[in-house]
């Protein structure tokens, strides 16, 4: 019997020791004065929001004390947060909201973190809006690999993608805004619907969970071509042809063996053209020695502008 009692005491001691370990583990956060914020994020259509960035801000500081990302189930957890009051920002791929689903910081909820406790932060955020459509080339074929942008000018926010091999595209954007949709093919920029003039662009309102279809067809972009010859009429090969636009944009190419050059998919700019020869000579069309003296040329949609020039003697 004595042996039995000893065994019982030993087992009891081990059990109590084990319980003590568990108790220490369970109260570790409490003893250090920290707690946990955890939650889940869904949108207003009930969809799980994965890969959202979560930033935890003390109410009296501008820098986050923790930053995590929601998992595939929309869940997140930020442990080791000091006792205090916090607000939680949810980054949604181009815009953000504040828990539990507010667009403005001033209306965001405040969450108290207690020692050894987990504070739940469940959030329902605005479902994104979708802008989708198909872009055709001027000849009616699919316009592939064209950059598509949706711009909210009121907030200087921008979303971009590229058309597929069939000309299709889709953009998930912040809801509650009006968007300008544009397409960039080469150096040519066009705005929906079918204009190269920004002020004529349409405004497409996008609501939370809504889908807006914006199909378009590319206009025939301006082209520029020409030939450079010397004073004797011989072609000047290997000369650099530099175009300066009225928007302070510059680009260049090189004349071929016959002195010819060409630029396609340009925008309807007003331009000046300079020629730089291999032997160091510089002139501006037509036969001018400086930019200020050079002629200005206006490129137009659907046209090819030809600028030939002859080198000064």
- Do residues 308 and 228 touch, judged by C-beta distance below 8 A? yes
What is d(CA 81, CA 37) in angstroms, rounded to the nearest whole number?
7
Give the residue from 193, 251, 199, 246 showing the smallest Cα distance to 224: 251
- The yes-or-no verdict on residue 15 having pLDDT over 80 is no
What is d(CA 257, CA 268) in angstroms, rounded to the nearest whole number?
28
Specify the DSSP element, H or E, that contains 2: helix 2-26
My answer on whether omega of the bond before 163 falls inside 30° of 0, hence cis, is: no
Give the residue from 166, 48, 39 showing the smallest Cα distance to 98: 39
Lowest pLDDT segment from 92-106, 132-146, 213-227: 92-106
Q: Grade residue 181 by pLDDT with cuts at 50, 70 and 90.
A: very high
Q: Grade residue 31 by pLDDT with cuts at 50, 70 and 90.
A: low
Rg (CA), the chain: 33
What is d(CA 221, CA 113) in angstroms, rounded to the nearest whole number?
60
Which pLDDT does position 299 carry in this prediction? Answer: 98
Domains, the chain, ranges and CATH? 31-125 (2.60.40.10), 129-217 (2.60.40.1120), 223-310 (2.60.40.1120)
Which pLDDT does position 93 carry in this prediction? Answer: 84
What is d(CA 92, CA 120) in angstroms, rounded to the nearest whole number?
20
Mean pLDDT for 12-21 is 39
Mean pLDDT for 192-202 is 97
155 backbone dihedrals φ, ψ, rounded to 5°: -120, 5
- The yes-or-no verdict on residue 30 having pLDDT over 90 is no
What is d(CA 137, CA 143) in angstroms, rounded to the nearest whole number?
5
Which pLDDT does position 3 carry in this prediction? Answer: 38
Q: Mapping DSSP to helix (H, G, I), strand (E, B) and coil, where does residue 198 land?
A: helix
Evaluated on CA atoms 179, 180, 183, 186, the torsion sign reads negative
Q: Mapping DSSP to helix (H, G, I), strand (E, B) and coil, where does residue 259 land?
A: coil
- The yes-or-no verdict on residue 17 having pLDDT over 60 is no
pTM: 0.80
Mean pLDDT for 64-84 is 97
Q: Grade residue 121 by pLDDT with cuts at 50, 70 and 90.
A: very high
**Residue 221, number of CB atoms within 10 A of its CB:** 22
Going by the DSSP 8-state scheme, the letter that residue 275 receives in this structure is E
- The yes-or-no verdict on residue 37 having pLDDT over 80 is yes
């Amino acid at each position: 019997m004595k042996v039995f009692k000893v065994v019982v005491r030993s087992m009891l001691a081990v059990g109590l020791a084990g319980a003590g370990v568990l108790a220490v583990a369970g109260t570790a956060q409490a003893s250090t004065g920290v707690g946990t914020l955890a939650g889940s994020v869904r949108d207003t259509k009930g969809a799980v929001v994965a890969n959202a960035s979560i930033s935890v801000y003390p109410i009296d500081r501008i820098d986050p004390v923790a930053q995590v990302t929601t998992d595939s189930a929309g869940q997140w957890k930020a442990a080791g947060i000091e006792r205090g009051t916090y607000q939680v920002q949810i980054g949604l791929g181009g815009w953000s909201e504040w828990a539990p689903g507010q667009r403005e910081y001033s209306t965001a909820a405040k969450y108290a973190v207690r020692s050894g406790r987990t504070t739940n932060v469940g959030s329902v955020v605005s479902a994104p809006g979708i802008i989708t459509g198909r872009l055709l080339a001027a000849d009616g074929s699919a316009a592939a690999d064209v950059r598509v942008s949706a711009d909210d000018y009121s907030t200087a926010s921008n979303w971009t993608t590229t058309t597929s091999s069939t000309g299709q595209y889709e953009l998930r954007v912040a809801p509650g805004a009006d968007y300008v949709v544009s397409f960039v093919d080469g150096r040519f920029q066009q705005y929906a619907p079918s204009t190269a003039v920004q002020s004529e662009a349409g405004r497409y309102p996008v609501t939370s969970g809504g889908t807006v279809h914006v199909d378009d067809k590319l206009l025939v972009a301006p082209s520029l071509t020409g030939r450079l010859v010397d004073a004797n009429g011989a072609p000047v090969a290997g000369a650099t042809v530099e175009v300066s636009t009225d928007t302070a944009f510059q680009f260049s190419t090189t004349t071929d063996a016959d002195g010819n050059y060409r630029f396609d998919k340009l925008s309807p700019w007003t331009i000046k053209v300079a020629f730089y020869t291999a032997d160091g000579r510089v002139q501006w069309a037509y036969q001018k020695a400086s930019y200020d003296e050079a002629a200005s040329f206006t490129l137009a949609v659907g046209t090819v502008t030809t600028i030939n020039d002859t080198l000064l003697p």
